[in-house]
Structure 1
Amino acid sequence: MSVVVDLLARPTYTMSQVDRLLGLRPGTARRWIDGYTRNGRSYDPVVRQRHTGEDLATWGEFVETRLLAGYRNAGVPIINMRPAIAKLRGETRSQYPLALSANFVTPHGKELVQRIQEQVGLQSELLLVVMRSGQLVMADPVEIFVNAVEFTNGTAVRMRPDPKFPEIKIDPLRAFGEPSVRAVPTEVIAEQVRAGDSEELISELYELSPEQVRAAVLFEKRRSA
């Protein structure tokens, strides 16, 4: 098994961290990733194959939840995507099919996704790929997701949490998976600025440019707004 595939299975975040990092309401990540019970009725997970009770989410689960968050932002009921994701998992023999770029950017992958969408009768607002001008292309939430994720050998390895700040990245192997600039957590930079340290001092301390320091501070302000 390759290093990047192993990375997808790496336990990285608590469920509450996933909610915080992706801007989800508390409890959302747990419901999507591990399922839930309400009024005596059990609901299967969307991300995991089955309920496990494990509180830690893997990097692959985090990445897939990031894609689902894009649909939630569009007002789509995520639970309805489960049949397509489950079938895609089986067809690709991958535990994390939404974390593989080939399923969205290659002709074969798009055709596979389209076939699965048709087989499970996925609603139009939930589609992962759509037909435009006679060609299969990524649906808008998927395109936004793919542009935010960095892939190595077709596997998601890191992510840009905000397109306005391209140098800020979420990397499971750096800064404990928190948003960072060159492995320096943005939260640490912002806290030092709030404590009165100058941008010049922080730049010198962490070997960052003043622009990178300002970007980290602005990113944290936007995140906490």
Structure 2
Amino acid sequence: MSDAAYGIGIYTAPEAARMVGMRPATLRRWLMGYDHDAKHEAPLWRPQYDPADNDGVLLGFRDLVEARIVNALRAKKIGLPTIRTCMNRARDIVGQHRPFSTSQFKTDGKTIFLHITRDLDEPQLIDLKRSQGVFNRVVAPSLADLDFGPDGAERWWLLHGKRTIVADPDRAFGQPIIAEHGMTTARVAEAVQAEGSVAKVAKIYELKPKLIRDALAYEHMLEVRQAA
């Protein structure tokens, strides 16, 4: 974590991909560029940490949010050229390089997305527009459980509908933690395995058992995603 900048968070490609629910190799392609039809495609966006300064790809928290939304669009079979066009148009409107993780996109996202997808002839995008809208069905759920400040996304509550497990770039380098305590969910899972029970860990670390169970639930969710 020596390269971490305060308040940005830091994740390796495998860590970020695990949280988003995608393959690390795919995430690297988005951030480093890729070859397609005998030409090299530029990265979809620049990561917060310059790849030239690191041995591998490192992401910040805002990158994590961008990846989450792009991954949701790809899950609906929307092509990368279309997504690239959407991101470029959104950059022009929002005025930031990572447009999907901005406060403006959170506030005016539906209007912005209607504008940036106008005249795009992506078949899957057209189908989504005909039923409920691509923003409501695909993008809005990826913005759920995020807290935004003036500069953009600041916090991600990792268990939907709960405020117990969080990724916050101001705490633990953005790693998933128990919000009330600050202990990482990975450390909680290791402790439970070592001690043999939730009750023992709760006593040792003076944690509420329900918080430990939530941490274990999140770690289990990551394992399920990885196995899928």
Distance in 1, matches of 2:7 and 2:30, equals 17
What is aligned with 1:4?
none
Q: TM-score, normalised by structure 2?
A: 0.77
Q: Which runs of 4+ in 1 moved over 4 A?
A: 129-133
What is aligned with 1:67?
69
Distance in 2, matches of 1:53 and 1:186, equals 28
Q: Which of 42, 45, 48 is 2:43 aligned to? A: 45
What is aligned with 1:97?
99
SS at match of 2:144: helix
Residue 175 of structure 1 and its aligned partner are, at CA, apart by 2.3
Residue 224 of structure 1 and its aligned partner are, at CA, apart by 1.4
What is aligned with 1:211?
210
What is aligned with 1:23?
21
What do the CA deviations read for 1:49-108 (whole angstroms, capped 9, x no partner)? 9xx6442222222210011122233333334210110121122211211002422433xx
Distance in 2, matches of 1:45 and 1:100, equals 19
Letter in 1 for 2:87: I
Aligned residue runs from structure 1 range 123-202, under 5 A: 123=122, 125-126=124-125, 138-153=135-150, 155-163=152-160, 166-182=163-179, 183-202=182-201
Distance in 2, matches of 1:19 and 1:25, equals 6
CA 1:196–1:9: 2 relative to 1, 3 Å: closer
Distance in 2, matches of 1:204 and 1:29, equals 39
Give me the CA root mean square deviation: 3.2
SS at match of 2:153: strand
Distance in 1, matches of 2:130 and 2:110, equals 10
What do the CA deviations read for 1:127-168 (whole angstroms, capped 9, x no partner)? 8x96888xx883312111121211123621111234265421
Letter in 2 for 1:113: F
SS at match of 2:10: strand
Distance in 2, matches of 1:122 and 1:174, equals 42
> Of Structure 1 and Structure 2, which has the larger fraction of its residues in strand?
1
Taking CA–CA contacts closer than 8 Å with sequence separation of 6 or more, which of the two structures ends up with the larger relative contact order?
A: 2
Distance in 2, matches of 1:47 and 1:130, equals 25
Distance in 2, matches of 1:39 and 1:125, equals 21
What is aligned with 2:114?
114
Letter in 1 for 2:19: L
Q: Any gaps of 5 or more consecutive residues in structure 2?
A: none
CA 1:95–1:207: 2 relative to 1, 3 Å: farther
Would the aligned equivalents of 2:66 and 2:98 in 1 still touch at CA under 8 Å? yes
Letter in 2 for 1:196: E
Would the aligned equivalents of 2:103 and 2:153 in 1 still touch at CA under 8 Å? yes
Residue 11 of structure 1 and its aligned partner are, at CA, apart by 6.0
Distance in 2, matches of 1:11 and 1:192, equals 24
What do the CA deviations read for 1:177-217 (whole angstroms, capped 9, x no partner)? 22111221111111111112532332244342110111111
